[in-house]
């Protein structure tokens, strides 16, 4: 990027020096030995605070040559968005790779999906003789047009004078700081599990991922925003109540606090020598019931 041309940036041809783009950083050995995964996260987060040198091509390879819980080494590709978006860059990355089974062969790409499910089928217009069905069909399109118009008005109003409510998902500085530290974390999901849900509810993989994201954000938000209390300045993590002196060998109390339910057992040691196993059974029982309820919901959707 040449910034000397009338004070504006422009693309210019340049000679690429690989030493400027291939970086092998020195990371604290103690941090790597203590938690290599966190060492990778901390290093990548530090890159978000460093502006790129616009006097040379805006791409960098960072090689972290130490093992983590998932791999023997890590490669971080940092580049400007003007070079490409995520889809094109991943396509280029796959095209530059080779098959593990045959290093001389390009990786096999999956065939394009067949759009044959019910979700892709257009709803036919009801016959003119069916008055109620035709009216419902017309009203559905009018409702779609109305909702689209309302969304457009709210979008324009938000851009001009309205503002989104402050939540934990908005940056504290309002997005004004140019180089704001961000941490990049990841977790692998089972594609087979996603496909199972997709088949059960007759939708697309993207639909499943959107639903999972919505559910996860809701769980996180209500867990983090659940009202909790302090006692003499000390945060209360959990609370529970129980009794003793009763003739029963087992007393169960449930106490709701924040987004958790505390289960407190008052047990007779002689009758329940392995009382902690009873707590484990409680946790396992609610897990089994939750899974059964989820399967029943999926079965109901599938049958409908």
Q: Would you name the residues annotated as active-site residues?
A: 81
Parallel, antiparallel, or unpaired: how do β-strands 250-257 and 59-64 relate?
Answer: unpaired
Cα(79)–Cα(290) distance, rounded to whole angstroms? 44
Among residues 184, 189, 183, 181, the alpha carbon closest in space to that of 213 is found at: 189
Parallel, antiparallel, or unpaired: how do β-strands 22-23 and 59-64 relate?
Answer: parallel
Please report how the helices 191-201 and 205-225 are oriented relative to each other, as an axis angle in degrees rounded to 10.
Answer: 100
- Inter-residue contact 298 to 196 (CB < 8 Å): no
Element of type H or E holding 251 = strand 250-257
How buried is residue 247: exposed, middle or buried, by Cβ count under 10 Å (0-12/13-18/19+)? exposed
Cα(264)–Cα(273) distance, rounded to whole angstroms? 16
77-97 b/e (C-beta count within 10 Å ≥ 16 → b): ebeeeeeeeeeeeeeeeeeee
Cα–Cα separations (whole angstroms), residue 59 to 39, 75, 138, 147: 22, 13, 52, 43
Q: Please give the structure tokens belonging to residue 147.
A: 């909702």
């Amino acid at each position: 990027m040449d910034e000397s041309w009338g004070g504006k940036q422009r693309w210019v041809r340049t000679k690429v020096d690989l030493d400027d783009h291939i970086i092998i950083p020195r990371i604290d050995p103690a941090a790597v030995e203590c938690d290599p995964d966190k060492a990778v996260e901390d290093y990548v987060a530090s890159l978000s605070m460093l502006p790129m040198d616009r006097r040379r091509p805006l791409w960098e390879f960072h090689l972290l040559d130490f093992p983590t819980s998932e791999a023997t080494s890590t490669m971080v590709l940092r580049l400007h968005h003007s070079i490409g978006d995520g889809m094109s860059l991943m396509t280029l990355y796959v095209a530059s790779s080779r098959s593990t089974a045959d290093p001389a062969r390009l990786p096999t790409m999956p065939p394009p999906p067949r759009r044959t499910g019910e979700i892709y089928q257009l709803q036919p217009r009801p016959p003119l003789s069916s008055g109620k069905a035709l009216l419902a069909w017309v009203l559905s399109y009018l409702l779609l047009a109305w909702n689209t118009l309302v969304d457009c008005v709210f979008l324009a109003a938000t851009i001009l004078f309205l503002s989104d409510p402050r939540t934990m998902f908005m940056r504290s500085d309002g997005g004004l700081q140019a180089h704001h530290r961000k941490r990049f974390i990841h977790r692998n999901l089972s594609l087979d599990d996603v496909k199972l849900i997709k088949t059960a509810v007759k939708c697309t993989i993207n639909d499943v991922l959107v639903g999972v994201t919505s559910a996860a954000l809701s769980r996180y938000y209500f867990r983090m925003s659940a009202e909790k209390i302090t006692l003499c300045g000390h945060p209360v993590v959990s609370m529970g109540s129980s009794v003793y002196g009763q003739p029963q060998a087992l007393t169960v109390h449930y106490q709701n606090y924040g987004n958790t339910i505390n289960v407190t057992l008052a047990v007779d040691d002689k009758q329940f020598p392995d009382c902690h196993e009873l707590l484990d059974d409680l946790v396992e029982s609610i897990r089994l019931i939750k899974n059964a309820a989820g399967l029943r919901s999926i079965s109901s959707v599938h049958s409908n």
